[in-house]
Structure 1
Amino acid sequence: MYPAQGDTSLLIEALRRERPEPGSRLLDLGTGSGAVALAAAELGAVVTGVDLSRLALATAWANARLHHRHLTLRHGDLISPVARRSFEFIVSNPPYVPSALDRTPPRGIARAWDAGPTGRLLLDRICRQVPRLLTTGGVLLIVQSCLADPASTVLALHRAGLRAGVVAAATQPFGPVMSQRAGWFEERGLIAPGERTETLVVVRGVRA
């Protein structure tokens, strides 16, 4: 199971600033270990977590039991398990690391981060599919790396009818996965020669 990283903390901080009302319906797409979902539950939200990995869902269930929180967990691809529902808040920490493969890995831990040559395989799908699940005034929060072009996320959410912009950012050293790919990133012009940090951002979209 892929442990929570700095992007998880940045997303949780952004969610806390939203101050969701108790009882607000919140969807966590790609819930993983359930760290963001549990933070939302602690804020009083009614949380549904979705993940394609059954191992991730089992981990999130165990963490919810450990922390005495209730999460509704669903197995499936992005919005497919909740396509007929609506939410006041939707949060996501999707795979966004650029990779040589032009598709998402079918299995294995790399599925938690690999997102195609531009890092946008999942981000683009989220921007197309997720806004329709927001209530009027509903908020979408997505965390991603600047290597995966946050401006494209903002533009795609605008096109989907949301007011959108970057609301948080943090720079951190490359972790093991990014460090292993640094040479490839340099070849593709994604980073400058010798650069070994990345900036993470939270993009916020609001349904008017």
Structure 2
Amino acid sequence: MCRLPGVYAPQADTALLAARLRREELRPGMRSLDLCTGTGVLAVLAALRGARATAVDISRAAIAASRLNALLHGCRIRTLRGDLDAPVARERFDLVTVNPPYVPSEDPGAPVRGARRSWDAGTDGRLLLDRVCARAPGLLAPSGVLLLVQSSLSGVAATLDALARGGLRARVVERRTEPFGPVMAARADWFAARGLIPPGAGAEELVVIRACRA
């Protein structure tokens, strides 16, 4: 995938979500939505399997990268710039994929610019996760599926509970333990002080949550 400066590079979380996406049924013409699309890799993957794919991101560079990657892979995706689901608030989708910012940060607010906007998500890592959980039921078609990836540090149980409150049946379908990268390693002492990891730990568990209507 081509990545433009300032766009989040696909990493282990993207790969885990993509692996699950490949196992989902996608019939030609189904409508897919990828929020926080970054390079557009998940939207491109859905489009290559016949979906009518839409990719949304708040970053202009991410939208440009998504368009370029669709062109390079010979597929068509609709790209929309906006805050989370705002550009598609009145639409419904058969599949919604999300790899949101979820890294806990000492800054309680969301960054408005720079690379940190791709991963920082408040002191509990849930600034975007809670919004996704609240909006997911309204984005899904009657038989639609949500696939969401996050870290164990940002409250997996909280995500499952929030989705359940919205009338969705949610469960963890993929798990992978990953060593900390540079961003996480630099915050390891802070994570430990907050009780998010044991002292000296250097890894997180990534999970994919699958949700559909109960």
TM-score of the superposition, structure 2-length normalised?
A: 0.95
Residue 108 of structure 2: aligned partner: 102
2: CA distance, partners of 1:195 / 1:163 = 32
Query: Is 1:10 matched with 2:19?
Result: no
Aligned to 1:55: 61
Give the match for residue 181 of structure 1. 187
Match of 1:145 among 151, 166, 176: 151
Q: Unpaired segments of 5 or more residues in structure 2?
A: 1-6
CA distance in 2, matches of 1:32, 1:76: 12
Cα distance in 2 for partners of 1:185, 1:85 equals 38
Q: Structure 2: how far apart are the matches of 1:40 and 1:184? A: 38
Kindly indicate whether the alpha-carbon contact (under 8 Å) linking 1:19 and 1:43 is maintained by their aligned counterparts in 2.
no
- Tell me which amino acid in the other structure corresponds to 2:177: T
CA RMSD in angstroms, aligned pairs only: 0.8
1:156 to 159, 162, 181: 162
Shift in Å at residue 130 of structure 1?
2.1
Q: Of 132, 135, 138, which aligns to 2:138? A: 132
1:157: how far off? 0.5
What SS does the corresponding residue of 1:122 show, helix, strand or coil? helix
2:199 to 171, 193, 198: 193
Deviations for 1:30-72, whole angstroms, at most 9, x for unmatched residues? 0000111111112211100000000111111111111111110
Q: Once the two structures are superposed, what CA deviation does each residue of 1:85-121 show, in whole Å capped at 9, x if it has no partner?
A: 1100100000000001111101111000000010000
Instruction: Give every structure 1 segment of 4 or more consecutive aligned residues whose post-TM-superposition deviation is greater than 4 Å.
Output: none
Q: Any residues of structure 2 matched to 1:23-172 within 5 Å, and which?
A: 23-172=29-178
* Alpha-carbon offset, residue 186 of structure 1: 1.0
Equivalents in 1 of 2:154, 2:29: separation in Å? 33
SS of residue matched to 2:66: helix
